[in-house]
Structure 1
């Protein structure tokens, strides 16, 4: 009786050991079946999508959509190119117009073309420059300013484009050197030098008391 119980106990233990193994194998088989089913289903869906795309492309070609689309893009490209060409032409046209306008303005500025200045005209321009420089000369000039004006007058007498006039001016500066201690001194010296030339040419002299009124704007020391 005890031996029989022992056998039954062993059989029961064996059944408990094999049962979990069988259950695990069954689960594995179930999982495999699920995976296979999923793969087949995914493959089937992918095939359906591909077929659907192919059907759509066929429909597009049948209806001429692809051709129309290409024609549309081609027309857009042509229009863009035409617009760009028109813009370039307009820009070039504007550039040419601007150049023409500038040339016309330049031509108007120089027309009518006068003759080169005569000795008298050159002399008037030269004296105008010198008197204007003297009009705005400082009341209390520095030594550097005095030296600058002295060197300028010497250079002016050398490069002035009238040999006789330039020589006369050099002789004036040699006989009566420029007085550069103040604005009034310089302006009066230059006025007397100019009157000396006028006497040689038989022209009337200028009242040097009016020199600043003649050449200085509003009789102040501000430059032009």
Structure 2
């Protein structure tokens, strides 16, 4: 073996050792996963002043270990975040396999589940967030939280509006039956006529209801009108 070949081989060996050493150090310096991941909720829409049941789950990332409490075991706490940023505790999530109480299917799979009841008095948006303690690479407890999930809060429809809606639906059913004339084969034309009828209600509700002048119906802006 020539001196040049020997130097080349020695150089390659040193490069390989350097790479191995560098990669091993990188693995040691990699930080443990932090955070609790995404908070999944269903449903994500509720009505004001309704004590709505929310099914919540946090899929804690592999490698993240939630600290175990001596009394409650591994548990996360869920908070409601109002529009002004105020946090209110609304429930807990557990990884205990209790499908009936918590909605958790498998114990110890790092999926924390819970059934949360949420109520909000104002329309708009609120958020839910899960918080807890996880163990870092040294086994020390650290505070951690999930990503926030939004809930849209809608105003409730009052009784008068609900009745008006039902009346409009009944009018549409009656009108469709009229267009069908007892023959289901008329369905394509009947649907086309019904759509035209609905459009006429918006453009000229009085003329459209001229055949039944004493019938109540919904006029412009959703207000009930009576024709005489």
What TM-score, normalized to structure 1?
0.23
Structure number with higher helix proportion: 1
What TM-score, normalized to structure 2?
0.22
